[in-house]
């Protein structure tokens, strides 16, 4: 009986040690993912700003303006606006990418919180179980003497 209790305590120690190791690795990975997502969101936001400024300026200019009082060819009647209307264009695509990174950050943050809570619960229950088994060992050892 003492052997079984000692074995159970050793198994709990091993399980707790392994859980701590796994938790630390998972936490490091989640922190890196969150950091990468935040950096990516910043980079995409900067790219969007640059593109929006470019298209705003391009919208004011007229491509290949002719200096003579000659009627411009039909193709150059308006200013170049890019192909923004077609399928959302580059700006639309970048906005989707930005929202994907924001979602990844939120999902990873939520997963990290859940994993930490599960780890804390496991460790608390294991410590209580270990303490109970250690007391049993103490009592049974004391009875033998």
**Helix segments in 61-88, DSSP class H:** none
Question: In this predicted structure, what is the pLDDT of residue 90?
Answer: 87
Distances (CA, A) of 120 to 3, 33, 74: 28, 22, 70
pLDDT at 3 over 60: yes
Q: How far apart are CA 51 and CA 103, in angstroms?
A: 23
Per-residue tokens: 10: 């050793």
pTM: 0.70
pLDDT-derived band at 143 (thresholds 50, 70, 90) equals confident
Number of other residues whose CB lies within 10 A of the CB of residue 133:
18
pLDDT digits (tens, 9 = 90+) for 61-100: 655 555 556 565 566 555 555 554 555 688 889 999 999 9
Distance from first CA to last CA of the chain, Å, rounded? 16
Q: How far apart are CA 31 and CA 108, in angstroms?
A: 8
């Amino acid at each position: 009986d003492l052997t079984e209790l000692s074995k159970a305590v050793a198994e709990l120690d091993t399980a707790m040690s392994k859980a701590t190791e796994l938790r630390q690795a998972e936490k490091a990975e989640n922190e890196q993912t969150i950091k990468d997502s935040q950096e990516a969101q910043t980079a995409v936001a900067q790219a969007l700003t640059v593109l929006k400024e470019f298209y705003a300026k391009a919208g004011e200019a007229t491509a290949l303006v002719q200096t003579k009082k000659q009627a411009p060819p039909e193709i150059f009647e308006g200013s170049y606006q890019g192909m923004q209307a077609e399928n959302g264009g580059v700006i639309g695509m970048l906005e989707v990418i930005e929202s994907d990174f924001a979602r990844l950050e939120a999902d990873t943050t939520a997963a990290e919180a859940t994993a930490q809570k599960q780890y804390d619960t496991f460790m608390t229950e294991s410590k209580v179980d270990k303490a109970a088994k250690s007391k049993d060992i103490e009592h049974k050892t004391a009875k033998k003497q």
